[in-house]
Structure 1
Amino acid sequence: MPFRAAGHDRTTMNCSYRDLFVTAADGKRLYARDYGPQAGDEVPVVCLPGLARTSEDFHDLACALSIDGSRPRRVLSLDYRGRGRSDWDDDWRNYDIKIELSDTLQVLAAAGIDKAFVVGTSRGGLITMALSAVRPELIAGVVLNDIGPVLEPDGLKRIRSYVGRLPTPRTMQEAADMLRQRSASQFPRYTEEQWRKLAQGTWRESEDGLRLAYDPNLMKTLEGLDLDAPLADLWPLFEALKPFSILAIRGANSDLLTAATLQAMQEQHPRLIAVTVPDQGHAPSLDGDLLQIVRDFIAGTAIRD
Structure 2
Amino acid sequence: MSSTEGFSDFFYSAPDGLKLHARVYGEANSGHWPVVCLPGLTRNARDFHELALHLSARAAVPRKVVAFDYRGRGQSAYDADIGRYNVGVEAGDILAGLVALGMEAAAFIGTSRGGLIIHVLGMMQPATLKAIVFNDIGPVIEPAGLAHIQSYLERAPKPKTFTEALDAQRSVHGQDFSALIDTDWARMVRALNRETDQGLVPDFDPKLVETVAGLDLTQPLPALWQQFDALGAIPLLTIRGANSRLLSTDTLRQMREHHSVMETITVEGQGHAPFLDTGSLPDDIAAFLDRAERQNSLK
Measured against the shorter chain, the TM-score band is over 0.9
Partner of 1:244: 234
Distance 2:238 2:157 in 1: 33
Contact between 2:29 and 2:62, CA under 8 Å: does it hold in 1?
no
Find the aligned partners of 2:200 and 2:40 in 1 and give their Cα distance: 21
Give the alignment's Cα RMSD to 1 decimal.
1.2
Equivalent positions of 1:23-42 (< 5 A) are 23-38=13-28, 40-42=30-32
Q: Which residue of 2 aligns with 1:87?
A: 77
Q: How many residues align?
A: 295
Match of 1:301 among 275, 292, 296: 292
Aligned partner of 2:94 in structure 1 is: 104
* Amino acid across the alignment from 1:283: A
SS at structure 2 position matched to 1:67: helix
Q: Provide the C-alpha distance between the structure 2 equivalents of 1:11 and 1:146, rounded to a whole number of angstroms.
A: 32
Shift of 1:195: 0.9
Name the CA shift for 1:94/1:165 in 2 (closer, same or farther; >3 Å): farther
In the TM superposition, residue 10 of structure 1 has moved relative to its aligned partner by: 2.5
- Which aligned segments of 4 or more residues in structure 1 are displaced greater than 6 angstroms? none
Distance 1:69-1:55 versus aligned 2 partners, 3 A rule: closer
AA at the equivalent of 2:295: R
| Counterpart code for 2:147 | K
Aligned pair partner of 2:49 in 49, 59, 62:
59
Partner of 2:2: 10
> Partners of 1:55 and 1:164 in 2: how far apart?
23
The answer for the alignment partner of 2:256 in structure 1 is 266
Q: Which amino acid aligns with 2:2?
A: R
Q: Distance in 2 between matches of 1:88 and 1:165?
A: 22
Match of 2:276 in 1: 286
So what's the TM-score if we normalise by structure 1?
0.94
In the TM superposition, residue 69 of structure 1 has moved relative to its aligned partner by 5.8
Question: Whole-Å Cα distance in 1 between the matches of residues 115 and 109 of structure 2?
Answer: 7
**Worse-superposed segment, 157-166 or 29-38:** 157-166
Shift of 1:39: 5.2
**Range 132-141 or range 276-285, more displaced:** 132-141
- Give the secondary-structure state (helix, strand or coil) at the position aligned to 2:170: helix
- Report how far residue 23 of structure 1 moved: 1.0
Give the whole-Å Cα distance in 1 for the aligned partners of 2:155 and 2:68.
24
Decide whether aligned partners of structure 1 residues 111 and 123 sit closer, same or farther in structure 2, where only a CA change above 3 A counts.
Answer: same
SS at match of 1:22: strand
Shift in Å at residue 168 of structure 1? 1.9
Matched AA of 2:208: L
Q: Name the SS of the counterpart of 1:43 in structure 2.
A: coil
Cα deviation, residue 230, structure 1 = 1.2
Q: TM-score, normalised by structure 2?
A: 0.96
Distance 1:111 1:125 in 2: 21
Shift of 1:55: 0.4
Question: What per-residue deviation string (whole Å, max 9, x for no partner) do you get for residues 31-57 of structure 1?
Answer: 000000345201100000000111011
Whole-angstrom distance in 2 between the partners of 1:165 and 1:86: 25
Instruction: Tell me by how many angstroms 1:122 deviates.
Output: 0.2
**Which residue matches 1:168?**
158
Partner amino acid, structure 2, of 1:300: R
Tell me if the contact between 2:59 and 2:286 (Cα under 8 Å) persists in the aligned partners. no
Task: Give the match for residue 214 of structure 2.
Answer: 224
Q: Which residue number in structure 1 is paired with residue 61 of structure 2? A: 71
